[in-house]
């Protein structure tokens, strides 16, 4: 393993806040809305600083001093000075609005200084290239650039929603999705939970399970407890009042120094369509603070033994803050891997299992995320593009099998922790382990989404046509850097190699067969009709059935309506989202599975579903082709001066196919014809 965290690049040059000549951004550095020129939010509350940190901060902070710092920067270009300063000045710097970064602000600031990008801590009147949000996509209205959150992600990774999404995949591919503990959703699945546990106990009397109850929407171990039996009063007493997930407890975790620990891995979802996933080479390992024992009635309540949450264990007298990444209650994951490797463990296999877990989990989340995305950022309307850093919490079993515990939409990016100096007196102090891992993740996420990288690549393409001219220009514009391999004189010169490694589409071939629900979601979105909704009305459902030619003498349109009403009513009664009426994606998926089972009786479920998707896509592609031909005929008639009787016919398939492009649809039609018949 290469170390993921990059040692800081020393003091950032004082020209950090320098204004590139002619930049239109100048006035925007003023605080908005007549705010006094005071420190940006969060700056005043900065933790105590190390020498190294003080050096960085002093050199680069805009803050109160956006202007002052800028002035300083001009007079003293800093270490890199003249040659490179001149080059950078000609290149507009990437602008980042950090006004809503919240607790990730400090790590973001360090990253921006390392990249020499421009931070706008108070926001900016003009649009920024990137908006860094601490919490969710919906922090404000943004119409361009990139935001570091996807709409709907917070909802998608709630315990119940995640369990549901994984469950759908487990129904289709039980072996591929066995990395998530068996789970039941409460209150609706309580009777199922009781029945299944009874059945399993009957069939194997030696099975002595433990279950962990996790309230939906909880975090940091809040409200979590262990039980040995579904009849436990703590559970039965709170079922109706607090929706939760109850999960099989993993009793035999891998221990290090006799302690249970989990892994926090950082994953970048760079794009939803096409799917692009990166995984950070290093993460954090968070340790319990009491030696582990398998759960018994006596130790069930000992949170320091069973729950690895940092927020809980920090209150234990045994918690060890360490300024070393290999020891203490929070360590780097790479230090654990080194240790495992020295014990002869197959670390390569472990990594490949983790990569597979991450890709499969994201494949489970993408269908619904696409529904949220098209609702918040409808195709054709101005809006930002999104990317997001996710925190994957993974537990290693004794046999080194990684198990997914949960996904965090807002993983903590704090790089300092609270320390009690004397009773009741706390101070924030830097945490070297957090800083090493998190700054690298943020910085390299920014490098991957760098809007100017694309521009530089375009410049490079042009240079192929004008080689001699371009050599000089490329040097001047820093265009020598392509992809991840930065030229030594490029804008990324001096930065460490990326800590984020692409895993998708790199391994797409191995995982694409799992993306069935994605294709079902594409059908769903096509029939949503009015943009901006997430639920399908009865007319949309009927049109889907009709266009895909799914009704026949055995399945009348009256049965279609009954199917729609039954499933929609049940999903809506689960109290998931009452804001809109209609059929949500999960309900549509259930209806789709029903139809697939009806139509292709003898096949395994995933083959039934795949066959029905092929069938639907075939008929829709045929329909699109027909519309295209009609559309062409109409256009020809129009251009030939035929009367304009076609207005309002909506013949262009593009209007009906937000995700399936016209050519893709036609291609599918041809594929189906060539391969199926």
Residue pair 131/100 in contact (Cβ under 8 Å)? The answer is yes
The reply to whether 404 sits near ligand ADP by the rule CB under 6 A is no
Instruction: Say how far apart CA 486 and CA 674 lie, in whole Å.
Output: 44
Minimum distance of ligand ADP from residue 334's CB (angstroms) = 20
DSSP-based helix, strand, coil % in the chain, nearest 5: 45, 15, 40
Q: What is the dihedral of CA 78, 80, 85, 91, to 10 degrees?
A: -120
Minimum distance of ligand ADP from residue 499's CB (angstroms) = 23
* Buried b / exposed e along 110-128 (16+ C-beta atoms within 10 A): bbbbbbbbbbbbbbbeeeb
State the sign of the Cα–Cα–Cα–Cα dihedral 252, 257, 259, 263.
Answer: negative
Minimum distance of ligand ADP from residue 362's CB (angstroms) = 18
Pick one of 146, 309, 374, 388: the residue that binds ligand ADP (CB under 6 A). Answer: 309
| DSSP-based three-state secondary structure for 28 | helix
Tokens of 331: 């360590």
The reply to whether 224 sits near ligand ADP by the rule CB under 6 A is yes
Stretch that binds ligand ADP, among 197-205, 218-226, 460-468, 645-653 (CB under 6 A): 218-226
Minimum distance of ligand ADP from residue 49's CB (angstroms) = 30
Instruction: Say how far apart CA 476 and CA 91 lie, in whole Å.
Output: 9
The reply to whether 186 sits near ligand ADP by the rule CB under 6 A is no
Pick the closer one to ligand ADP by CB: 128 or 250.
250
Minimum distance of ligand ADP from residue 408's CB (angstroms) = 7
Minimum distance of ligand ADP from residue 476's CB (angstroms) = 50
The reply to whether 412 sits near ligand ADP by the rule CB under 6 A is no
Residue pair 325/436 in contact (Cβ under 8 Å)? The answer is yes
The reply to whether 219 sits near ligand ADP by the rule CB under 6 A is yes
Instruction: Say how far apart CA 376 and CA 534 lie, in whole Å.
Output: 9
Pick one of 186, 405, 413, 477: the residue that binds ligand ADP (CB under 6 A). Answer: 405
Pick the closer one to ligand ADP by CB: 57 or 264.
264
The reply to whether 307 sits near ligand ADP by the rule CB under 6 A is yes
Stretch that binds ligand ADP, among 220-228, 232-240, 320-328, 535-543 (CB under 6 A): 220-228
Stretch that binds ligand ADP, among 247-255, 461-469, 581-589, 646-654 (CB under 6 A): 247-255
Pick the closer one to ligand ADP by CB: 59 or 250.
250
Instruction: Say how far apart CA 118 and CA 568 lie, in whole Å.
Output: 49
Tokens of 467: 């080689």
Stretch that binds ligand ADP, among 214-222, 323-331, 409-417, 491-499 (CB under 6 A): 214-222
Pick the closer one to ligand ADP by CB: 164 or 214.
214
Stretch that binds ligand ADP, among 114-122, 191-199, 216-224, 600-608 (CB under 6 A): 216-224
Pick the closer one to ligand ADP by CB: 293 or 512.
293
Tokens of 496: 């460490």
Closest among 367, 418, 411 to 585, alpha carbons compared: 367
Residue pair 175/401 in contact (Cβ under 8 Å)? The answer is no
Pick one of 123, 134, 181, 490: the residue that binds ligand ADP (CB under 6 A). Answer: 181
Pick one of 31, 64, 127, 221: the residue that binds ligand ADP (CB under 6 A). Answer: 221
Instruction: Say how far apart CA 88 and CA 19 lie, in whole Å.
Output: 10
Pick one of 12, 110, 153, 212: the residue that binds ligand ADP (CB under 6 A). Answer: 212
Pick one of 99, 148, 163, 247: the residue that binds ligand ADP (CB under 6 A). Answer: 247
The reply to whether 155 sits near ligand ADP by the rule CB under 6 A is no
Pick one of 20, 92, 218, 430: the residue that binds ligand ADP (CB under 6 A). Answer: 218
Pick the closer one to ligand ADP by CB: 290 or 566.
290
Minimum distance of ligand ADP from residue 336's CB (angstroms) = 15
Q: Judging by DSSP bridges, how do beta strands 244-248 and 183-186 pair with one another? A: antiparallel
The reply to whether 406 sits near ligand ADP by the rule CB under 6 A is yes
Instruction: Say how far apart CA 267 and CA 460 lie, in whole Å.
Output: 30
Pick one of 57, 214, 264, 662: the residue that binds ligand ADP (CB under 6 A). Answer: 214
- What are the DSSP calls for 115-147, one per residue? HTPEEETT--SSPPSEEEESS-GGGS---SSEE
Minimum distance of ligand ADP from residue 223's CB (angstroms) = 8
Stretch that binds ligand ADP, among 90-98, 164-172, 219-227, 267-275 (CB under 6 A): 219-227
The reply to whether 391 sits near ligand ADP by the rule CB under 6 A is no
Q: How many residues bind ligand ADP (CB under 6 A)?
A: 20
Minimum distance of ligand ADP from residue 286's CB (angstroms) = 7
Pick the closer one to ligand ADP by CB: 12 or 226.
226
Pick one of 262, 416, 486, 590: the residue that binds ligand ADP (CB under 6 A). Answer: 262
Pick one of 95, 308, 412, 572: the residue that binds ligand ADP (CB under 6 A). Answer: 308
Q: Which residues contact 245 (CB under 8 A, 6 or more apart)?
A: 159, 160, 163, 183, 184, 185, 186, 213, 214, 216
Minimum distance of ligand ADP from residue 327's CB (angstroms) = 20
Pick one of 222, 323, 346, 458: the residue that binds ligand ADP (CB under 6 A). Answer: 222
Query: 């790089």: which residue's tokens?
Result: 415
Pick the closer one to ligand ADP by CB: 406 or 518.
406
Minimum distance of ligand ADP from residue 575's CB (angstroms) = 21
Pick the closer one to ligand ADP by CB: 61 or 308.
308
Pick the closer one to ligand ADP by CB: 177 or 541.
177
Q: How far is CA 430 from the centre of its chain?
A: 27
Q: Which residue pairs from 8-11 have beta carbons closer than 8 angstroms and sit at least 24 positions apart in sequence?
A: 8/52, 8/56, 8/110, 8/114, 8/439, 9/114, 9/494, 9/495, 10/55, 10/79, 11/55, 11/56, 11/58, 11/59, 11/78, 11/79
| DSSP-based three-state secondary structure for 455 | helix
Instruction: Say how far apart CA 177 and CA 173 lie, in whole Å.
Output: 6
Instruction: Say how far apart CA 175 and CA 164 lie, in whole Å.
Output: 17
Sheet strand arrangement including 244-248: 183-186, 244-248, 211-215, 225-227
Residues that bind ligand ADP (CB under 6 A): 181, 212, 214, 218-222, 224, 247, 249-250, 262, 307-309, 393, 395, 405-406
């Amino acid at each position: 393993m290469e170390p993921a965290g990059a040692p800081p690049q020393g003091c950032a040059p004082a020209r950090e806040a320098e204004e590139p000549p002619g930049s239109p951004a100048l006035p925007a550095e003023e605080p908005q809305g007549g705010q006094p020129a005071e420190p940006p939010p969060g700056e005043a509350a900065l933790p105590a600083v190390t020498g190294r940190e003080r050096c960085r901060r002093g050199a680069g902070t805009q803050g109160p001093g956006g202007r002052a710092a800028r002035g300083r920067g001009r007079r003293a270009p800093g270490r890199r000075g003249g040659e490179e300063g001149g080059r950078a000045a000609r290149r507009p710097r990437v602008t980042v609005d950090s006004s809503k970064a919240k607790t990730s602000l400090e790590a973001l600031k360090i990253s921006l200084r390392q990249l020499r990008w421009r931070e706008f801590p108070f926001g900016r009147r003009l649009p920024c290239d990137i908006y860094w949000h601490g919490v969710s996509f919906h922090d404000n209205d943004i119409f361009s650039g990139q935001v570091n959150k996807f709409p709907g992600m917070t909802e998608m990774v709630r315990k119940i929603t995640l369990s549901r999404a994984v469950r759908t995949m487990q129904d289709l591919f039980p072996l591929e999705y066995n990395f998530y503990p068996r789970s039941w959703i409460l209150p609706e699945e309580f009777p199922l939970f009781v029945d299944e546990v009874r059945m399993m106990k009957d069939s194997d009397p030696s099975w002595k399970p433990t279950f962990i109850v996790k309230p939906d929407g909880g975090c940091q171990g809040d409200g979590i407890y262990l039980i040995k039996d579904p009849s436990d009063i703590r559970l039965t007493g709170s079922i109706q009042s607090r929706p939760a997930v109850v999960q099989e407890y993993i009793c035999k975790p891998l221990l290090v120094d006799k302690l249970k620990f989990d892994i926090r891995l950082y994953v970048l979802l760079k794009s939803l369509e096409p799917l692009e996933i990166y995984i950070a080479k290093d993460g954090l390992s968070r340790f319990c603070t009491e030696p582990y024992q398998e759960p018994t009635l006596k130790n069930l309540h000992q949170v320091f033994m069973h729950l690895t949450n940092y927020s809980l264990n920090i209150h234990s007298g045994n918690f060890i803050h360490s300024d070393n990444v290999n020891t203490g209650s929070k360590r780097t994951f790479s230090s654990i891997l080194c240790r495992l490797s020295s014990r002869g463990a197959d670390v390569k296999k472990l990594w490949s299992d983790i990569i597979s877990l991450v890709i499969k989990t994201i494949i489970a989340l993408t269908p619904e995320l696409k529904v949220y995305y098209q609702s918040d950022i409808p195709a054709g309307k101005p809006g930002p593009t999104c990317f997001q850093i996710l925190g994957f919490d993974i537990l290693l079993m004794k046999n080194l099998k990684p198990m997914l515990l949960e996904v965090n939409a807002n993983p903590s990016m704090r790089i300092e922790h609270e320390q009690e100096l004397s009773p009741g007196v706390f101070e924030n102090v830097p945490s070297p382990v957090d800083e090493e891992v998190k700054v690298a993740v943020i910085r390299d996420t920014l490098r991957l989404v760098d809007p100017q990288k694309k521009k530089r690549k375009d410049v490079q393409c042009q240079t192929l046509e004008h080689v001699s001219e371009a050599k000089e220009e490329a040097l001047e514009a820093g265009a020598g850097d392509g992809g991840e391999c930065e030229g030594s004189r490029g804008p990324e010169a001096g930065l460490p190699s990326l800590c984020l490694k692409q895993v998708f589409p790199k391994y797409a071939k191995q995982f694409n067969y799992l993306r069935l629900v994605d294709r079902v979601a594409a059908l769903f979105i096509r029939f949503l009709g009015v943009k901006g909704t997430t639920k399908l009305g009865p007319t949309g459902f009927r049109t889907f059935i009709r266009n895909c030619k799914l009704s026949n003498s055995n399945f009348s349109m009256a049965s279609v309506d009954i199917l729609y009403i039954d499933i929609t009513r049940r999903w809506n009664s689960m109290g998931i989202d009452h804001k809109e009426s209609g059929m949500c994606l999960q309900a549509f998926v259930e209806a789709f599975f029903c139809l697939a089972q009806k139509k292709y009786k003898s096949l395994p479920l995933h083959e039934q579903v795949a066959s029905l998707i092929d069938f639907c896509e075939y008929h829709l592609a045929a329909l699109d082709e027909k519309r295209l031909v009609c559309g062409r005929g109409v256009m020809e008639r129009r251009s030939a001066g035929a009367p304009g009787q076609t207005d309002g016919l909506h013949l262009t398939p593009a209007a009906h196919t937000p995700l399936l492009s016209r050519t893709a649809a036609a291609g599918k039609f041809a594929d189906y014809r060539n391969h199926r018949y």
